[in-house]
Chain A
């Protein structure tokens, strides 16, 4: 396809764009698509989650949340996150509509004012609730949000894994690239290294205690370590339920107004 392109231009292209079509890119995309295919058809789920934020000194703070997610075929998922603690934000809710190619949409519900506020959509690199997770780390991970490049196969903790890089398509992403370790047995992400805009290693996210819910796998423990600040955030997922019969009605602004 690119045979007519001069070598110099090709070198320049490789230097400026992280990705161009090639066998490693094709393989990376194939892996991502397979992972996405295996994780489709779950319809909806609910879960309770606890976030433990640890600073450099090891001091901990805790947030408890409830999450509802609705799978939208051919688009990003809809999700509703309700905060139970800290007590001053109890009843605060974040409604997100992820999209494959256009900006995600977000609304914040402030219970004291009963006010629904639209959030500017390019805050994805910002921290979620003061944690080490950015908004873009917790929203629905659509295949189209990245381009891919397979790096190698190796063993990680006794499992055969693919190692591939993915590059965020959105210029507002806080990352230049992510290195993903995904097991070959069930296409579950085991680990992600995040590289910041200066190409420096920023964070590592580890997925632990995968549990099967029907044919869908979910990690019970997701721990993000920030290598630049030595802070970490552990996300513990409990009480996952799939196919609970949620509909788009549970993810509109009227639903926000009855969040408690």
Chain B
């Protein structure tokens, strides 16, 4: 609270009665339950962890200036890395007539598809929160937005790199060898202080949303290199390489049909590769005369590195070095979204991803429902079927889980 501009924000905010100013947030508990015995030493079958995510927002100068702060903290007595604190947002925002300037820690999302987010690269994944990587760490940035009619140009300077979070030895699910953050290395000589640059041009015009993006800096996906720390004892050391990424994300809506495409070209260590996900979501509104909406989703996921895209954790003694992991080289997503449109905003999203090159299959189900006016219940099932021994997910084959989250919003 010693931050001067926060104080200014509070004072100015009280002068101009701004809207939705002040503290809000959520707090609750998460119960993570695995119904098979753990494979790796040190793991448990259940984890109970409380969390709190307070948020402070202030707006002044007729909404032209904003201050936002979001903190996330989780406790976990069993997985030390799951117990963590992160500043999700600490940003000052200034909005002009055809520009906006954002400075501080913030979060940006790019993309349109559901199964994986190829184009989205600004924020690092907070992987201990969820193996799907959708939860993000706050990213320090300077962001200038320039608006010209229906098109927008966003420029980002990212002065500090955030390491991906990984479960500790007692965490679950995890890779067979534990990832040791302390052993992280960087291709950039100045390590985490390498200044990354990102830009995205986007346009929205009659049913079409299109974004073209470019990123140069330290890649968010590390290579995980086996490293001997004691005789017969190995861990994985993350190595973050410099990366150049050209991205395309686009969607087109035509009645009940929403077409989606994301594609990236990435250059790492002098070699380019290509990955894409493309698909659609078709929504049946008000099925059988009810108020329920059912959406059918399908996405095809491709990575031209093929199986090399997968990090294969070698059995020690080790020599092989995997590329940064990508679970999806030639896979298909089938999904079903059910929106009940009820007072409690009940929603279910189910998905299965069969690997077209093998027999492996990932499935997940996410459901949410408001309880009363201020509570929310989230359920998440995730499971792995028939994972082959050479798959990166083999080490998680027994890690089917149900995650129950009960949160109180204030």
Q: Are A249 and B97 closer than 8 Å at their CB atoms?
A: yes
Pick from B220-228, B283-291, B380-388 the stretch touching chain A: B283-291
A84 contacts the other chain (CB 8 A): yes
A126-B285, A252-B204 known; A120+B342 contact, CB < 8 A: no
Q: Are A253 and B20 closer than 8 Å at their CB atoms?
A: no
A241 contacts the other chain (CB 8 A): no
CB-defined contacts of A249 to chain B, threshold 8 Å: 97-98, 147
Q: Are B255 and A121 closer than 8 Å at their CB atoms?
A: yes
B68 contacts the other chain (CB 8 A): yes
Pick from A16-24, A36-44, A110-118, A176-184 the stretch touching chain B: A110-118
CB-defined contacts of B345 to chain A, threshold 8 Å: 86, 88-89, 129-130
Contact pick for B95, options A55, A120, A129, A258, CB 8 Å = A258
A113-B134, A127-B341, A260-B59 known; A253+B100 contact, CB < 8 A: no
Q: Are B373 and A61 closer than 8 Å at their CB atoms?
A: yes
Tell me the smallest distance from the CB of B240 to a CB of chain A, in Å: 23
Tell me the smallest distance from the CB of A32 to a CB of chain B, in Å: 26
CB-defined contacts of B376 to chain A, threshold 8 Å: 88
A159 contacts the other chain (CB 8 A): no
Q: Are A105 and B341 closer than 8 Å at their CB atoms?
A: no
Contact pick for B409, options A66, A86, A174, A254, CB 8 Å = A86
Contact pick for A130, options B57, B100, B342, CB 8 Å = B342
B281 contacts the other chain (CB 8 A): yes
B66 contacts the other chain (CB 8 A): yes
Contact pick for B152, options A120, A123, A253, CB 8 Å = A253
Q: Are A123 and B283 closer than 8 Å at their CB atoms?
A: yes
Q: Are B108 and A260 closer than 8 Å at their CB atoms?
A: no
A91: nearest chain-B partner, CB-CB: B20
Beta-carbon contacts of B245-282 to A below 8 Å, as 1s and 0s?
Answer: 00000010101111000000000000000000000011
* Dominant secondary structure at the A interface: loop
Q: Are B293 and A123 closer than 8 Å at their CB atoms?
A: yes
Beta-carbon contacts of A26-62 to B below 8 Å, as 1s and 0s?
Answer: 0000000000000000000000000001010000011
B400 contacts the other chain (CB 8 A): no
Beta-carbon contacts of B25-44 to A below 8 Å, as 1s and 0s?
Answer: 01000000000000000000
Q: Are B100 and A126 closer than 8 Å at their CB atoms?
A: no
The CA-CA distance from A91 to B56 in the complex, in Å, is 12
Contact pick for A254, options B66, B147, B281, B344, CB 8 Å = B147
CB-defined contacts of B213 to chain A, threshold 8 Å: none
Interface extent on A, as a size class? 35 or more
Q: Are B24 and A120 closer than 8 Å at their CB atoms?
A: no
B209: nearest chain-A partner, CB-CB: A118
Interface size on B (CB < 8 Å)? 55
Q: Are B66 and A120 closer than 8 Å at their CB atoms?
A: no
The CA-CA distance from A191 to B98 in the complex, in Å, is 42
Which residue, B107, B134, B286, B289, has most C-beta atoms of chain A within 10 A? B286
A85 contacts the other chain (CB 8 A): yes
The CA-CA distance from A120 to B286 in the complex, in Å, is 13
CB-defined contacts of A197 to chain B, threshold 8 Å: 289
Residues of B341-378 at the interface with A, using a CB-CB cut-off of 8 Å, are 341-345, 370, 373-374, 376
The CA-CA distance from A141 to B160 in the complex, in Å, is 49
Q: Are B251 and A118 closer than 8 Å at their CB atoms?
A: yes
Q: Are A126 and B341 closer than 8 Å at their CB atoms?
A: yes
A218 contacts the other chain (CB 8 A): no
Tell me the smallest distance from the CB of A40 to a CB of chain B, in Å: 24
A61-B373, A130-B342, A253-B202 known; A120+B93 contact, CB < 8 A: no
Q: Are A120 and B281 closer than 8 Å at their CB atoms?
A: yes
The CA-CA distance from A253 to B282 in the complex, in Å, is 23
The CA-CA distance from A129 to B370 in the complex, in Å, is 12
CB-defined contacts of B107 to chain A, threshold 8 Å: 114
CB-defined contacts of B5 to chain A, threshold 8 Å: none
Residues of A67-95 at the interface with B, using a CB-CB cut-off of 8 Å, are 82, 84-91
Contact pick for A120, options B20, B145, B202, B283, CB 8 Å = B283
A87-B24, A122-B255 known; A172+B285 contact, CB < 8 A: yes
Residues of A93-140 at the interface with B, using a CB-CB cut-off of 8 Å, are 102-103, 105, 113-116, 118-127, 129-130
Closest 10 CB pairs of A and B: A87-B409, A130-B343, A120-B283, A260-B57, A123-B285, A114-B109, A127-B341, A115-B109, A88-B376, A88-B409
> Which residues in A have some Cβ–Cβ distance to B below 8 Å?
53, 55, 61-62, 66, 82, 84-91, 102-103, 105, 113-116, 118-127, 129-130, 172, 174, 197, 247, 249, 252-254, 258, 260
> Which residues in B have some Cβ–Cβ distance to A below 8 Å?
19-20, 24, 26, 57, 59, 66, 68, 93, 95, 97-98, 100, 107-109, 111-112, 134, 145, 147, 150, 152, 202, 204, 206-207, 209, 251, 253, 255-258, 281-283, 285-286, 289, 291, 293, 295, 341-345, 370, 373-374, 376, 407, 409-410
Beyond the given pairs A113-B109, A118-B209, 18 more chain A to chain B contacts, judged by CB atoms under 8 angstroms and listed by A's residue number, are A66-B20, A85-B373, A87-B410, A91-B20, A102-B206, A113-B134, A114-B108, A118-B112, A120-B257, A122-B255, A123-B256, A130-B344, A174-B286, A247-B97, A249-B147, A254-B147, A258-B95, A260-B68
